Amino acid sequence: MLTLREECRLRVFENRVLRNKFGPKRDEVTGEWRKLYNTQYFSGIKSRRARWAGHVAHMGERRGV
């Protein structure tokens, strides 16, 4: 069982990994670079998971996923 401190440290580590993976984004209007908020990272992950689930659903029964 995780303590509250360990849980917080894991969350910080996860956010750091996400920032390294997705990096900053360029604003389409101003052209400036900006950091993403944590909620934006998680919404991006959620949409990628949904897209992946769609690919898996279309594979059919013959392919083992």
CA distances to 6, 8, 35, 41 from 28, rounded to whole Å, are 38, 33, 14, 18
Residue 64 binned pLDDT confidence (cut-offs 50, 70, 90) = low
Amino acid at 7: E
Q: What is the 3-state secondary structure (H, E, C) of 8-46?
A: HHHHHHHHHHHHHHHCCEECCCCCCEECCCHHHHHHHHH
The pTM is what?
0.54
Instruction: Provide φ and ψ at 7, rounded to 5°.
Output: -65, -40
Over the stretch 15-33, which tens digit does the pLDDT of each residue have?
888 888 888 888 888 989 9
